Amino acid sequence: FESKIAELIWVVIPIREIEVMEVMPEGGSLVSAMLFSTISKNAIVFSAIENRHELIARIKELKKNASVIEQPTLDAHKHPKILEPALNHFENSPLSPHNEAKQKIKENMWEMYFTDNGRSISMLRTPELVDLTTKGIPNKYRTDIWMIYS
């Protein structure tokens, strides 16, 4: 995937999820590339990384610090971790009138797109779809769009 818009996509991989980090050999289309393997057995390749050696050093440092922090203590059962509420808790919270109006506008724009270009897996992928996605997917359609593109 190559984004035509600078800084359109940000990928976040939690340090604790990185199991293996490898420098890829130079050649072909992979220039200054790295391979990350996660605990869940996903492999992710990034290429054209600026300052790759600095990035490697920083990740190693963060992994070392994270492993020190995450070591369980003997008193772990006395002080249970406080868990954050699930994301659906935040999604169902009421919106301000301003944000509710913005959601309605987005919903209308997406409905017009669905009418013109279909819906579900048969939906046409057009530059207009990229624009709509960049402007934001309304909460009402977020799960549907996620299922279509994942």
Q: DSSP 3-state assignment of 53? A: helix
Least confident residue range of 12-26, 56-70, 100-114, 115-129: 56-70
pTM given for the model: 0.41
pLDDT tier for residue 16 given thresholds of 50, 70 and 90: confident
Tokens read off for 124: 């046409």
State the SS3 of 54-117. Answer: HHHHHHHHHHHHHHHHCCCCCCCCCCCCCCCCCHHHHHCCCCCHHHHHHHHHHHHHHHHHHHHH
pLDDT at 3 over 70: no
